[in-house]
Structure formats: structure tokens, C-alpha cells
Amino acid sequence: MAIVKAVPSSATKIGGDLLDRFSAIVGAKYAIRDPKQQAPYLREERDLYFGQTALILKPGSVAEVSAIMKLANETGTAIVPQGGNTGLVGGQISFDENAIVLNTTRLNKIRETDAAANTMTCESGVVLARAQEAAAKHNRLFPLSLGAEGSCTIGGNLGTNAGGMQALAYGVARDLILGLEVVLADGRVWNGLRKLKKDNTGYDLRHLFVGSEGTLGIITAAVLKLFPAPRSAATSVVGLKSPQAALDLLNLSQARAGSAVTTFEIMPKIGMECVLANQSGARDPLAARHDWYVLIELTSPMDSNLRVLLEEILGEAVDKRFIDDAVIAESEAQRIAFRKLRSGLSEYQKVLGGSIKQDLSVPVSAIPAFLDEGIAAVKKLIPGVRPMPFGHMGDGNIHFNFSQPEGWTREQFLARWGDVDKVLHEILARFGGSISAEHGIGIQKRDKLASVKDPVEYEMMRAIKKVLDPNGILNPGKVL
């Protein structure tokens, strides 16, 4: 994959009268036509995708979203839904000068928090960090936690079925909702904002829209699941020799602590060195450098002495030679600092130049062998490449990234993306893995989807798309 830039469409340009009709729905202030003002909505943060659009609309109500979709369906106008524009596979970018971007960030109300029911109903434009903070005010936890949580939105999280650092214990985005409100392609509004844990009245339609990347409907609100806020926590950075040692530590930790293991992240030496060299205030928590690191965290809603339990786990791991060194956070500030070491990996990998990124998953037991084979294969393919795999080892999701060899240009390296895909995906297939664990399909992986899906499954997906979006106006060219 190379850098994707939109090119002018050969189709008849969308007329000014129609743009006026769309603009009137939200008002001139929230209808962006100036190319300079549009630019931030058409550029992905890694500079891999550059789009174009006829108009950006920022509706402030469900009624406005409904009116936009009704007009779009009547006129055959393509609509590209967008939240915080933090997606990594191009799903939120418009590449058609005749398409309209529907940005949901003005749909930012938290409609209700029901602490007794452990639910929060919020609109799709609510920023994830704000949802977390709102839950905390009621002594509750919304556990979805991502590196982009300060700017990504609930709608985008649900559209891509985001995972994050606590999916090990709480599941991915689809596991964290009870109900949805969705505007369909023809403008009808489905009100499925139920707070019920049990509702066995036919097909569970909410899961069609979670992970659909705006190709089946536009999520405008959701009922989120909340959990009791943790009252105790213990966090450690661990140094070890290999992914196999990390797997041994994971199994030991879960055997001793069960569901209290809420985070288990693996990091390579080169990644830790990038963060330590570039993150303000970062300090190496261990006395020496190690080939691999693990961030492990135990949490509980009870007043438990988790530090003692974590000390016992790490002590047993040392005795069994699973780990070489470890340190447990002594304060909340140090706990946050430990977590920042992991969350800074994506940002500070940039200092090494171009990065070919993979969001892959395999059965947890296969991670060590998959990493060994994958690293060896890509090193053979591109001598001098710098592997930087990291991520959510506890749930089998590895961000299998590679940085450019020294002396290469970014463009030269990114041009090999397809070659790296081919090598890794062949290995991945043997391990029964997935080409997308939590980032989605978008445009980046669209052409690969048919080859990795069961043919019947792929045809069912196409049939669902045809039923819910018969005119093909919702995020065309994405996913399918």
C-alpha cells in the first residue's frame, strides 16, 4: 500500500443547488465548503490518506442527520460518516469530490447516566475520554481505553468495533453496548436505545451496525455498559527474554488472579527505547534494557491488596525463569507513567521514519510462534527492516509494525507495504488469524476481505448491505 490521494472524479460534479439544500439542513455555519477549512477532515494523522469532498456537514441533532440521509437517498448522493477522524484504515475519509462528509462531533450530549442500572446513554460524537470521565463522576468505569481516547468518538469506536488495552477483561466495543440509535440510509431512525441486559425478541440488530464502519447506517447514540469503578490496582513493568516467556507469565497471572488481570501488553526493546528517548519525562523503570517488556495490571472493584498478589505472581515468575526483572508502581502517578510508556509506542515510532502497520490477531497460544515466523519472514524480505510488534497480548491482538531500514526513504519503504501484507497474511492464515483485529477494513483492507472470508459469509454481508443501503450511498467503496 502506498500513500492514497484522491483524484478528480469523471462523474458530473454535484450541483450548487443541491449543496445549498444540504447546507440549509444544518445551517451555513456547519456546512463547510472552503477547501482550506475542509482540509483537517480529509487528512489522516499518519499522512497516508488524503481525500476530497463537495461539502462537510456537521449536524447537531438526530433530526438533521435524518434529513440529510433522506435527501441523499433521494438524490443518490454519497455520504461518508466521520467521527473524530482517528481511524487507521481510511474508512472515515472521503475520496470522492462528489461525496459529502457527515461529521458527527456536534452530536455530543450525554443524555443519561443511570448508575443503578450501570448504563450511560450518549450521542455518537461524545469523545471517548469524556465518556470515561462522566462515568467516573458516578463512581463507575467505562472500560474502553485507546491511545486516541482524547479525540476519538463513541460513534467511531462502535463503527470500527474498537478494542484497546482492557479488552482482555471487558471485551471490545460491541461487548460494551446494550442499545443503539441509528439513522438508516433512507433517513428512517431506528430507536433501539434499550437498557436491557436480556431482550430475546428476535434478531439482535445492534451488532449489524457495530463494526460496519458506517456502511449500513449512521450510529447517532448508544447505551453503554458501565462497571463499578476499581477501588484497588497494581501495575508492573516487566522485562523478559521472549514472547514465549510473556505467554508463560500471562498464563500464570490468569491462573493466580483470574479476571483481575485487566491489562497485559507486550512491547519490544526498540519500541521502549523510542518512547524513553522522546516522551517528555519518561524514565526506564528497570535497571537494564530487555529484549521484551510487558505491562501488566490487576484491578478490582473491591478493597483488595492486589500489590501483594502481583508480588507473589512476579516472584513465582522469577523462580520459574519466565521473567528477568520487574517493578511495581508505588503511586498513582507512577502507574500512569507506566501506562504512558505503552500508549506512546505508536506516536514515537514515527521518529524511525516510515512505518508499515498491521493490526492482526491470532489465538493467544500462537502469538510466540507467529511473531517468530513473521519477524524472520519480513527481515528476509527487506534486509535491515526494524520490527516493532506490540499490543494486546492478552486477547491475541498484535500491532505487527515495521519501521523503515536506515538509509531508506519513507516513500521507498511504504511502497513495499503490499509485499509485507502478502508475507504476513500467508503466515497468519496458517495460524487461523484475522487481518483486522480492531482497526476495521476501510479502504486499506477492502480488496483483501473477499479472500479471507468464507464465500457464503461474504455473500451474506453483501446481501445485508443491499437490503439496508439499496442505493449504495453509505460510505461507498469501504469494507465491501
Cβ-in-10-Å burial (0-12, 13-18, 19+) of 40 comes to exposed
Which grid coordinates belong to 327?
Answer: 517493578
What radius of gyration, in Å, describes the C-alpha atoms of the chain?
Answer: 23
CB atoms within 10 A of CB 328: 19
Which grid coordinates belong to 40?
Answer: 483537517
Where do you find CATH 3.30.70.2190 in the chain?
232-346
Supply the pLDDT for residue 216: 98
Facing residues of 458 across strands?
none
Where do you find CATH 3.30.70.2740 in the chain?
353-439
422-438 pLDDT, tens digit per residue, is: 999 999 999 999 999 99
Of 137, 56, 142, 47, nearest to 94 by C-alpha is 56
Supply the pLDDT for residue 39: 96
- Across the beta sheet with 55-57, the strand order is 31-32, 55-57, 100-103, 79-82
Contact by Cβ (8 Å): 41, 104 = no
Give the angle 88-397-225 at the CA atoms, nearest 5°: 80
Distance CA 442, CA 146 (A): 19
Facing residues of 95 across strands?
52
Three-state secondary structure along 435-455?
CCCCCCCCCCCHHHHHHHCCH
Distance CA 413, CA 405 (A): 8
Which residue is associated with the grid cell 475542509?
Answer: 38
Contact by Cβ (8 Å): 295, 338 = yes
Measured in degrees and rounded to the nearest 5, phi and psi for residue 102 equal -105, 100
Per CATH, the architecture of 110-228 is what?
A: 2-Layer Sandwich (3.30)
Distance CA 264, CA 55 (A): 43
Distances (CA, A) of 427 to 246, 247, 361, 421, 471: 21, 20, 12, 10, 38
Distance CA 102, CA 207 (A): 22
Measured in degrees and rounded to the nearest 5, phi and psi for residue 423 equal -65, -50
> Which amino acid is located at 101 in the chain?
V
Contact by Cβ (8 Å): 349, 399 = no
Distance CA 107, CA 128 (A): 13
Of 194, 259, 256, nearest to 223 by C-alpha is 194
- Across the beta sheet with 189-192, the strand order is 110-114, 119-123, 218-225, 177-183, 189-192
- Does domain 4-103 correspond to CATH entry 3.40.50.1360? no
Facing residues of 237 across strands?
295, 327
Which residue is associated with the grid cell 460494551?
Answer: 176
Q: Which residues does the chain have with pLDDT short of 70? A: 1-3, 6-12
Q: Which helix (H) or strand (E) holds 427?
A: helix 417-430
Supply the pLDDT for residue 152: 97
Distance CA 146, CA 86 (A): 11
Where do you find CATH 3.30.465.10 in the chain?
110-228
Supply the pLDDT for residue 381: 98
Supply the pLDDT for residue 2: 55
Supply the pLDDT for residue 134: 98
Distance CA 217, CA 208 (A): 9
Distance CA 279, CA 298 (A): 25
- Does domain 353-439 correspond to CATH entry 3.30.70.2740? yes
Cβ contacts of 296 within 8 Å, gap of 6 or more = 235, 236, 238, 249, 253, 261, 263, 264, 265, 310
Supply the pLDDT for residue 1: 57
Distance CA 242, CA 13 (A): 56
DSSP states of 370-406: HHHHHHHHHHHHSTT-EEEEEEEGGGTEEEEEEEPPT
Q: What is the CATH number of domain 232-346?
A: 3.30.70.2190
* pTM for the structure as a whole: 0.94
Distance of CA 2 to the CA centre of its chain: 21
Which grid coordinates belong to 245?
Answer: 516467556
Where do you find CATH 3.30.43.10 in the chain?
4-103
> Which amino acid is located at 67 in the chain?
A
Expressed in percent and rounded to 5, the helix, strand and coil fractions of the chain are 40, 20, 40
